Amino acid sequence: MEKKSKILITGGAGFIGSNLCEYFVNNGYSVVCLDNFATGYRHNLNSVIDAPNFELIEGDIRNLETCRLAVKDCEYVLHQAALGSVPRSINDPITTNEVNINGFLNMLVASRDENVKRFIYAASSSTYGDSQSLPKVEDIIGKPQSPYAITKYVNELYAQNFSKLYQMETIGLRYFNVFGRRQDPNGAYAAVIPKFVIQLINHESPVINGNIEYSRDFTHIDNVIAMNELAIQTKNSEALNTVFNTAFGERTTLLELVNLLKSELSQFDSKISSIETIIGPSRMGDIPHSIASIDKAKLLLGYIPKTSLKIGISKTIQWYWENLNQKIDKIVS
């Protein structure tokens, strides 16, 4: 693939999208970012906003004409735009459906009509639903447990359908609990790692919902970037028109996660090590355990995750401390 290929990144001002924008801009690609700033932030784009190979379009994927404008002359689409969060979808299923399904379909149609070379989209581990099998393997799923999970499964069905009907190349990446720099720690729907980090920095007890033995496959943003690039670059026909788990492939309990965060943060503030953890009620739609098989991605894409949870947490803690707590300038390595 030529370095000057033009890529559209939807939701490019969000946590994952802005990291993708930064990486591809810095590696010579021409990048268009489409975002309506409903959950993304302009400051997430500070590192690329003035780059000559970067263009920002403010708009909503629920508008088909906006999607057509954004995708014009693009060879690849990295579709990240969505309303995330299981609790948010339970509280407001209609908006989640409008953005995640109607918006997704708009982007597929616009990409088809523009003859985009490949449409790569953010799928979700929530698609595994109530399946009890571990590790999670791509072709064994259960019933979705939330409106959000339903929308992400419908995305996969639409992508498969467009691949067959219109010969579009599509690849879905089922993200597993992604974390890292720029992930928003604030708000009712903050992900668990940034939420725990900000609570510990403020000397508040982190709350584990459900059970301390609930487990997740926490995946650092650098591994997600690598998967997106592999999805763009692959010439393996068997890797097309399918979905891949995007994860590290290891299982960590929520209690282990809290202890790791406390250990890393206590390098700055020794009081953090003694903060107690609170066990709260289970949340509707939550899945007790999740760990991904990444064998398919290894085999067909050559994926080898390089950033472990421990390394990723260390990097993430450094970023949060420097950006959220200005009293300390540098992490102790």
Q: Which residues are catalytic?
A: 148
Planar angle of CA 18, 174, 309, nearest 5 degrees: 70
CA–CA distance, 206 with 287 (Å, rounded to integer)? 19
- Classify residue 142 by its DSSP letter: -
**241 CB-contact burial (10 Å; exposed 0-12 / middle 13-18 / buried 19+):** middle
Please provide residue 301's backbone torsions phi and psi, each rounded to the nearest 5 degrees.
-110, -15
CA–CA distance, 312 with 316 (Å, rounded to integer)? 6
CA–CA distance, 308 with 179 (Å, rounded to integer)? 11
Max Cα–Cα distance, the chain, nearest Å: 59
Closest CA to 229 of 54, 40, 27, 49: 27
CA–CA distance, 174 with 176 (Å, rounded to integer)? 7
Write out the DSSP string of 84-105: --HHHHHH-HHHHHIIIIIIHH
Q: What are the Cα distances from residue 291, in Å, to 110, 140, 164, 191, 329?
A: 34, 13, 30, 17, 35
Q: Which amino acid is at 225?
A: I
Q: Which amino acid is at 136?
A: K
Contact 251, 216 (CB under 8 A): yes
